[in-house]
Amino acid sequence: MTIVDVITIDGPTASGKGTVAHKVADALSFHLLDSGALYRLVALASERAGIGMQDVEGLASLATRLDVKFGPDRVWLRGEEVSLAIRAEATGNRASAIAVHQPVRDALTALQRGFRKLPGLVADGRDMGTVIFPDARLKVFLTASVEARARRRYKQLIDKGISANIEDLLRDLESRDQRDRSRAAAPLRPAEDAHLLDTSDMTVDQAVAQVLQWYGAPGS
Ligand code: DC
């Protein structure tokens, strides 16, 4: 049986993992899994369906039936493009709140593992290296100071035309990280065999080059 290589890139909110994962996948022509998008999709779909954040059964059942389609940089929910809608801070916070429920996480496990296809996969999230792909060929845990992350998130949102306030972002990031780290189900933490990469003072390209070098990509 062919073992399909996986590179996992985990880390806190706005650590740059999405951008780094994207560029590493491009450089290797690998598939990409943005697992946070799945939690954001469940958050958006459940909000629209009027399912409460504590209705674990309702949320898990919705996550199992999630009608989602991914394209390059775009995502559709029941045929409607929601690429921008899922990026709202409120949706990210709601995603973090529903991600504490183990049945919701279980409902998304098979969907996430289904992204593992030749020639390889780069998966970013919180528990890619610890839970979803424990046998990944390379595991990276990205960190960055909370100030650096708030600045990046601010720029990301403004670039997308979404209004933002840096103090609110800082507060939201801290409380979201705190919840992601302290939950019982698949808490945010580096896998024991993960390489740690602090990107506070790094450019995206430097971070990408480091990941490619760890992977042993030709020319890196
Ligand atoms: O990476 P992101 O900001 O798009 O993720 C949104 C939330 O989803 C995050 O705060 C926690 C949750 N999440 C998770 O619990 N596990 C993952 N693998 C990815 C995201």
- pLDDT tens, position by position, 26-72: 999 999 999 999 999 999 999 999 999 999 999 999 999 999 999 88
Strands 121-125 and 6-10, by their bridges, are: parallel
For residue 214, what pLDDT is reported?
Answer: 98
Q: What is the mean pLDDT of residues 69-77?
A: 91
**Cα of 37 to ligand 1 centre, how many Å?**
7
**Cα of 35 to ligand 1 centre, how many Å?**
7
Q: List phi, psi (to 5°) of 47.
A: -65, -45
Task: Specify whether the CB–CB gap between 14 and 87 falls below 8 A.
Answer: no
* Atom number of ligand 1 nearest to Cα 100: 15
Burial per residue of 54-86, b for 16 or more beta-carbon CB atoms within 10 angstroms, e otherwise: eebebbbebbeeeeeebeeeebebeeeebeeeb
For residue 181, what pLDDT is reported?
Answer: 93
Confidence of residue 73 (pLDDT cuts 50, 70, 90): confident
Task: Spell out where the chain has E strands.
Answer: 6-10, 31-34, 68-71, 74-77, 80-81, 121-125, 138-143, 195-198
110 assigned ligand-binding residue? no
* Atom number of ligand 1 nearest to Cα 14: 3
pLDDT in tens, 206-215: 999 999 999 9
Q: Which of 126, 169, 174, 179 to mutate to test the pocket of ligand 1 (most atoms within 8 A of CB)?
A: 126
Residue nearest to atom 1 of ligand 1 (CA): 36
Q: What is the mean pLDDT of residues 135-141?
A: 98
Q: Tell me what percent of the chain is helix, strand and coil, each rounded to the nearest 5.
A: 50, 15, 35
What totals of helices (H) and strands (E) does the chain contain, helices first? 8, 8
* Atom number of ligand 1 nearest to Cα 124: 18
pLDDT in tens, 100-123: 999 999 999 999 999 999 999 999
- 1 pLDDT exceeds 80? no
For residue 72, what pLDDT is reported?
Answer: 84
**Cα of 113 to ligand 1 centre, how many Å?**
16
User: Is 72 in a helix, a strand, or coil?
Assistant: coil
Domains of the chain: 6-213 (3.40.50.300)
- 89 pLDDT exceeds 90? no
For residue 215, what pLDDT is reported?
Answer: 97
